Amino acid sequence: MAHLAKHYGPVFLLATLIGHGQPLSAHDQGQTLWIEAERPSRSTMIRHPQWYDRVKTDQLSGGDWLSHFSDDRPGTAEYNLDIPEAGRYAFWLRANPVQTTLDYRIDDNEWQTVDFSQADQQVNVADDDKPDLRFVAWVRLDDLELDAGRHILAVRSRSALHHHGAIDAFVLTTEAFVPRGLDRPGASDLTVFGGAGTWPFRPERDTFRDDALLDLRSLNEEVAGQNGFVRRTEDGNGFVLGDGSPVRFWAVTSYVQRQGDLDTVKHHARFLAKRGVNMVRYHGHLEPKPKDTPEASLSDPDPKELDQAWKLVAGMKDAGIYTTLSPYWASNFKQVPARFGLEGWPEDQSPQGLLFFNPTLQQAYKAWLRKLLTTPNPYTGIPLAEDPALAIIQLQNEDSMLFWTMQSVKGRQLELLGKQFGSWLVAKYGSLDAALRAWKGDRMPEDDFDRGVVGIHIVWEWTQSRSGGRKARLDDQLQFFGETMYGFNQEIARYLREDLGCRQLINAGNWKTADPIRLEDVERWSYTANDIIAVNRYYSPVHLGPDRGWRINAGDRFANTSALLDPRSLPTNIKQVSGFPTMLTETRWVPPLSYQAEAPFLASVYSALTGIDGFVWFSTGESEWSIEDRADWNAASRKKWEIATPMVLGQFPAAALIYRLGYVTEGEPVVVEHRPLDDLWQREPPIIAEDPSYDPNRDLGDSARRVEPTGPGAVDPLAFLAGPVVVSYDSDPSRSEVADLDALIARDRQRVGSVTGQVVLNFGQGLCGLNAPKAQGVVGFLDRVETFSLRDVTISSKNPYGAVLAVSLDGEPLATSRSILVQIGTEALPTGWTTHETTFTTDGGRREVEGFEIVETGRMPWAITRADASIRVRNPALTSAVVLDSNGVPVRSLDVTTEDGALDVALPPDALYVVLQAD
């Protein structure tokens, strides 16, 4: 990133493709048949009125069911179906799921046995409420492709126990219907997800079969750290492995170490490596937990956390996955008894901010690190300090002296900080009286110069425009705070290097400030005491609800806005510090947002374009796992921070290939800013700043408040989408340079092109196109454009929203590759996810939002919108297309057309991956 970009190439290569939409045709009204089972056209069922049929008829559709109970033989029934219109019909059955064997068939086709393992909404219908055999539940069967006209549906009851069975109703529908008790399709204005236009995501546990065509494990080293420690490149801007090979980290924060033993961690490691992951982040809490260990002192780290950290590093390294260690988060430190020695600190208040200046906490923190890093890892025998599989040590997570939480520091701790401020002022001015003169006499009631204590202004003061002596005092306080954080970061690095013998790279922190214009550069400068700059940032549209910080509930309201329509909110919009690698150490597109398929696409493309060196998704392993069944996927519909879903983790492979293998060219910087340190202390506005992120757990209000740079030479924030934006501190501002952004940003057409000519974002229509030699595709509201014609690929889709990526698997350009991954994304929500449109206000009534209210959060399995897309690849070598399951294993071939040196194929509606191959 050393040279300012001067040549832009074919920037608007895709502009004509992402700017001329076609009007949408109206969909035909859905068709639904609701069939009462007690009204067959033919039946051999034998009923049992004395017991089996004694049920609560008000719990049954139509007030009855068709039952069979016989010692002698199975029972059958047939139903005449008059299908009004040819098409694909979702097929639902409400029947007794308990110890029942039911078969069904359409016309003369083979009998199919009903799988009741996914039955839902089970109800005891026994009139005496006894928990015997008399239940009903809904279950979805395989979709049916039916021609218009008469068809015969037959059912057969043949259970081992008296051949018993009972059927309440059948539903065949082309509507987006999911059963809700006895409610029928179209009975309300609710939108229910999981009907005929979707397919259920039911992944098998990955056994890592040799015949898998999609397995990215080979991208990793055989063992993480086999060639030595990860280090920085010569210019400091990136990472290299021990053998000098350049590397980017496609990573996840994982909690698998909490869920199982070492074998469980190793399985998950192999699972992640297969999907392109080469780093995990340990997000831990080393502080002692007095409720768990009442005898522990402040210097005693939590033994459970130590074990989990050791286990994670050991379990991941054999899959070639490195670990970032983040051992402390002040916000999680919930128990601070007086015996810990933090004078005057409330026992139930997290000690946010104290680690930077309190020597008692600092000494305890060092003791935690010593125990963690120098004790031989019981799972490997090697102390973490000596293990190159541990690549990065992050000193602390999400804490800063420049954030609002600093205002909770009061009493003896604030006085301690005031005394340190006094010593700093004496060093700068010679005396406190000299400092007071520099401040033109500006005083605070807390000033006690005789004791060397200087009052501390609250953070809010820095967010305001001040002048005269008050400004001079605030400037000094900001410099003192910034240097205090820098000094802490510098001392811990010395301790790790010299006292503990650690050779890992060090990152100070990852947090934000109370004001991104006035304070953010001070925060970033304080990180330059160490090796890596990191940021935590999420894309998080408005979500209102009592548990919005961690869970999604019925009754919550939310805005469902794609980041493609709000590109200034992309987490990758980072002002990077020249000479340092940059990492996003926590990020995701936060539910209940349904537009998730864009997340891996945009993350990989824009991180690669702008030179971000590590992208860490948050998080995996938080669900209630069943180790034997689908252990690696999120199986909880209300989790807010899990990324192990089909539209995030399921979209990793193509994104990881693009990002890790450099399939998108890193651009030359479009903005290079040089800032003297005095400008930072005086809170002078930068020429460009990141938009603030939003944290529902700590920020005030309901959304981030966007602010605009207003200083001389202010740069359009859309520049972050055009190429790298970098800053140098303690440097001459006359050296700042800005590319000709008018050639890249067309606000009138709502488009931004990359400096490399490979990426175009149309934020008016919500579309992003990628056009690189080895990776091409498009994401967003696809049916707004009839056809996307790229360099070697043409994509057509009728999906209202989705993503299609073609990526080389053999490292060759798509035009000559003999193996190409086509990855498909749409929308995925829990089955039965139900919402209705609503309007609500946020931020104390200041903003009105058109959004949705959640009626039901749904249940597993994930229901995925069926893809309706085709792709053409201009490559004469390609001859076949194979559909893969969620584990990358071939399941069937697709019909293809090969002519004029191209392969054409209709993409499967019910799969995430297709591999195009040459003979």
pLDDT on residue 187? 57
Instruction: Tell me the one-letter amino acid at 762.
Output: N
**What pLDDT, in 10s, does the model give residues 797-846?**
999 999 999 999 999 999 999 999 999 999 999 998 999 999 999 988 88
| Residue 388 contacts residue 242 (beta carbons within 8 Å) | yes
**Could you tell me the CA-to-CA distances from 460 to 445, 471, 502, 521, 831 in Å, in that order?**
17, 13, 38, 17, 45
pLDDT at 25: 23
Q: Is beta strand 767-772 parallel, antiparallel or unpaired with respect to 759-762?
A: antiparallel
Q: What tokens appear for 625 in the block?
A: 């796992």
Q: Which residues are CB-contacts of 128 (< 8 A; sequence separation ≥ 6)?
A: 54
Q: Six-digit token pair at 133? A: 């055999």
Residue 623: pLDDT band (50, 70, 90) is low
Displacement of CA 787 from its chain's centroid (Å) = 29
pLDDT at 191: 85
Nearest to 276 by CA among 650, 784, 700, 743: 650
pLDDT in tens, 410-439: 999 999 999 999 999 999 999 999 999 999
Under 8 Å between Cβ of 757 and 665: no
DSSP string, 90-108: EEEEEE--TT--EEEEETT
Paired tokens of 351: 């000690």
- H or E element: which one contains 891? strand 890-894
Q: In this structure, what token pair is assigned to residue 144? A: 């049916």
Mean pLDDT score, 19-40? 60
Give kind and range of the element (H or E) at residue 360.
helix 359-374
Cα(401)–Cα(481) distance, integer angstroms = 7
pLDDT band for 745, please (50, 70, 90 cuts). Answer: very high
Angle, CA of 207, 211 and 216, to the nearest 5°? 75
198-202, 216-220, 296-300, 396-400: lowest mean pLDDT where?
198-202
Residues 826/864, Cβ–Cβ less than 8 Å: yes
**Can the peptide bond before residue 893 be classed as cis, meaning omega within 30 degrees of 0?**
no
Q: How confident is the model at residue 2 (pLDDT cuts 50, 70, 90)?
A: very low
pLDDT confidence band for 634 (50 / 70 / 90): confident
**DSSP one-letter string for 283-324:** E---S--TTT-TT--TT---HHHHHHHHHHHHHHHTTT-EEE
Q: How far apart are CA 279 and CA 252, in angstroms?
A: 7
The residues, ordered by sequence, that sit 6+ positions from 530 with a Cβ below 8 Å of its Cβ are: 395, 489, 490, 493, 506, 507, 508
pLDDT single digits (tens) 567-594: 999 999 999 999 999 999 999 999 999 9
CA distances from 618 to 205, 252, 588, 644 (A): 22, 6, 6, 9
**Distance of alpha carbon 896 from alpha carbon 915, whole angstroms:** 12
Give the total residue count for the chain.
919
Map residue 883 onto helix, strand or coil: strand
Pick from 36, 284, 401: nearest CA to 182:
36
For residue 501, the model assigns a pLDDT of 98
- pLDDT at 562 exceeding the cut of 60: yes
**Contact assessment for residue 507 and residue 530, using Cβ atoms and an 8 Å cutoff:** yes
What average pLDDT does the chain have? 93
pLDDT score for 746: 97
Is residue 464 within 8 Å of residue 484, measured between CB atoms?
A: no
Residue 162 Cα distances to 46, 72, 98, angstroms: 11, 8, 13
Q: How far apart are CA 882 and CA 731, in angstroms?
A: 56
Q: How far is CA 696 from the centre of its chain?
A: 16
- Among 116-120, 225-229, 260-264, 311-315, the least confident range: 116-120
Q: What is the pLDDT of residue 622?
A: 66
Q: Distances in Å between the alpha carbon of 828 and those of 617, 652, 805? A: 18, 15, 17
What's the CA gap between 813 and 302, in Å, rounded?
51
Residues 653, 657, 663, 668, CA torsion sign = positive
Q: Which of 459 and 14 is assigned the larger pLDDT? A: 459
**Can you give the pLDDT at residue 15?**
37
Whether 492 shows a pLDDT value over 60: the answer reads yes
pLDDT of residue 13: 39
Q: What is the pLDDT of residue 175?
A: 80
Look at residue 452 in the predicted model and tell me its pLDDT. 98
3-state secondary structure of 81: strand
The three state secondary structure string of 809-876 is CCCCCCCCCCEEEEEEECCEEEECCEEEEEEEEECCCCEEEEEEEEEECCEEEEEEECCCEEEEECCC
Instruction: Give the bridge partners for 841, in sequence order.
Output: 848
Residues 6+ apart with CB under 8 A from 18: 751, 760, 762, 765, 767, 768, 769, 778, 785, 788
% of the chain exceeding 70 in pLDDT = 95
pLDDT band at 194 (very low <50, low <70, confident <90, very high): confident
Residue 190: pLDDT over 90:
no
Strand partners, 551: 639
What pLDDT is attached to residue 186?
65
Q: How confident is the model at residue 396 (pLDDT cuts 50, 70, 90)?
A: very high
* Own/partner long-range contacts of 293-302 (Cβ < 8 Å, ≥24 apart): 297/339, 297/340, 297/364, 298/340, 298/341, 298/342, 298/360, 298/361, 298/364, 299/363, 299/364, 299/367, 299/368, 300/367, 301/367, 301/368, 301/371, 301/372
662-716 pLDDT per residue, tens:
999 999 999 999 999 999 999 999 999 999 998 888 888 889 888 776 777 899 9
- Angle of helix 262-274 relative to helix 303-317, nearest 10 degrees, comes to 50
Rounded-to-integer distance, Cα 890 and Cα 869, Å = 20
Q: Is the pLDDT of residue 8 over 50?
A: no
262 pLDDT higher than 50: yes
803 three-state secondary structure: strand
Instruction: Return the pLDDT at 30.
Output: 67
Higher pLDDT, 341 or 180: 341
pLDDT mean over 25-46? 79
Cα separation, 683 vs 726, in Å, equals 19
* Mean pLDDT calculated for residue range 627-652: 83
Helix (H) or strand (E) holding 371: helix 359-374
Q: Which neighbouring-strand residues pair with 847?
A: 842
Average pLDDT over residues 84-100: 94
CA distance 754 to 756: 5
Torsion angle defined by CA atoms of residues 617, 623, 626 and 632, in that order, rounded to the nearest 10 degrees? -10
* b (16+ CB within 10 A) / e for 815-830: bebbbbbbbbbbbbbb
Predicted confidence (pLDDT) at residue 627 exceeds the cutoff of 80: no
Q: SS in 3 state form for 491-507? A: HHHHHHHHHCCCCCEEE
Among candidate residues 669, 768, 777, the one with its CA nearest the CA of residue 723: 669
pLDDT at 11 over 80: no
In whole angstroms, give the CA distance from residue 490 to residue 483.
10
